[in-house]
Amino acid sequence: QKFQLVPGNLHDSHSTHVKSNPMPIYSQAVAMAEHFKAASSCPICLDYLENPMHLICGYICCLRCMNSLRKGPDGKGVLCPFCPVVSQKNDIRPAAQLGALVSKIKELEPKLRAALQMNPRMRKFQVDMTLDVDTANNYLIISEDLRRVRCGNFRQNRKEQAERFDSALCVLGVPRFTSGRHYWEVNVGTSKVWDVGVCKESVNRQGNVVLSSELGFWTVGLREGQIYFASTKPLTGLWVSPGLHRVGIYLDITTRVISFYNVGDRSHIFTFTKISATEPLRPCFAHADTSRDDHGYLSVCVINNSIASSPIYPGQGNYTLEHRKHPQ
């Protein structure tokens, strides 16, 4: 019944953030934008609400989407898709104030999109990340430098232990995070089935694993090479700008936010707010693409740090970039 809660949520969570949490402006803007987006979209067409109407129970959708609602049992009125209440014609009223707000949000969207773009300063918080083989499912092949993973067709011969995902095609990363801000990038190549993000150190690793924020996983992923989603409950389908090959992940434990970006065009993909900060968080990777595509793997990127990097000589720059794009 998300639709009925949205306006309330918008108000409550915003005001508690402001009062109790001195969020930096950026994270606050991202969180607010997510709330606005959720509050202004139609549960039927998933687009911005157009001429929003509300039923007697509080359900809201576009005027044109009302036609797709089922009729009441006696053929009169319309049945709410989320509760058993039937609204008669006279009960259905325009949500004029919400309509005005949505048009305003729609108008501001391009600016919002620009404001949500990846901030290059995030790269200051980059971490040197490797994969933790002791947690890797035995069907995952991990490269020798511990930066690359792909799903194989044969079981790897590794010892069985409690930290290992015994059934789910997952592997965790090192380091673990307990405080502060962190940034890393994951090359997803041409993989068609993957998930990246963070999870609680204590997540269940035996048997089936459900990627859900409720169970301690904050991830975005791809299925069948075309469906992107975030591990909210229920899942949130994502619109991702075309050509996503590298995901930028910014974790801020202080404000309990994790954001995902398309590094290619710096666009924002998704932000989870109110993530858990009660125990260490681990970078988390899942790969279930068994196609033999040479670029069908995940790899944690070694990012060029302007402070720590060695000088680049003329002609060397291109080589370095190529080398990173296609690590051996």
CB of 42 or CB of 170, closer to Zn ion: 42
- Joined together, the tokens standing for residue 107 give 């108008």
Minimum CB–partner distance for residue 237 and Zn ion (Å): 15
- Residue numbers 203-222 binding Zn ion by CB under 5 A: none
CB of 45 or CB of 174, closer to Zn ion: 45
Q: Which of 80, 95, 168, 263 binds Zn ion (CB under 5 A)?
A: 80
CA 129 – CA 2 distance, rounded (Å):
37
Residue of 139, 141, 119 whose CA lies nearest to 299? 141
CB of 82 or CB of 125, closer to Zn ion: 82
CB of 80 or CB of 258, closer to Zn ion: 80
Q: Strand order in 267-273's β-sheet?
A: 140-142, 148-151, 298-300, 181-187, 246-252, 257-262, 267-273
CB of 71 or CB of 323, closer to Zn ion: 71
CA 131 – CA 87 distance, rounded (Å):
55
Q: Which of 12, 18, 73, 83 binds Zn ion (CB under 5 A)?
A: 83
- Residue numbers 132-191 binding Zn ion by CB under 5 A: none
Q: Strand order in 52-54's β-sheet?
A: 60-62, 52-54, 93-94
Torsion of the alpha carbons at 186, 192, 193 and 198, rounded to the nearest 10? 20
Distance of CA 181 to the CA centre of its chain: 17
How many residues line the site for Zn ion (CB under 5 A)?
A: 11
CB of 85 or CB of 215, closer to Zn ion: 85
Minimum CB–partner distance for residue 68 and Zn ion (Å): 9
Q: Which amino acid is at 262?
A: N
CB of 48 or CB of 125, closer to Zn ion: 48
Instruction: Single out the segment in contact with Zn ion by CB under 5 A; choices: 83-91, 185-193, 225-233, 284-292.
Output: 83-91
Site mask for Zn ion (CB under 5 A), range 26-65, x = bound:
----------------x-xx-----------x-x--x--x
Residue 97, φ and ψ in degrees, nearest 5 = -65, -45
Residue of 84, 119, 142, 134 whose CA lies nearest to 282? 134
Minimum CB–partner distance for residue 44 and Zn ion (Å): 5
Contact 139, 133 (CB under 8 A): no
Minimum CB–partner distance for residue 111 and Zn ion (Å): 24
Asked if 98 touches Zn ion (CB under 5 A), the answer is: no
Minimum CB–partner distance for residue 87 and Zn ion (Å): 8
Start-to-end Cα distance in the chain = 49
Residues that bind Zn ion (CB under 5 A): 42, 44-45, 57, 59, 62, 65, 80, 82-83, 85
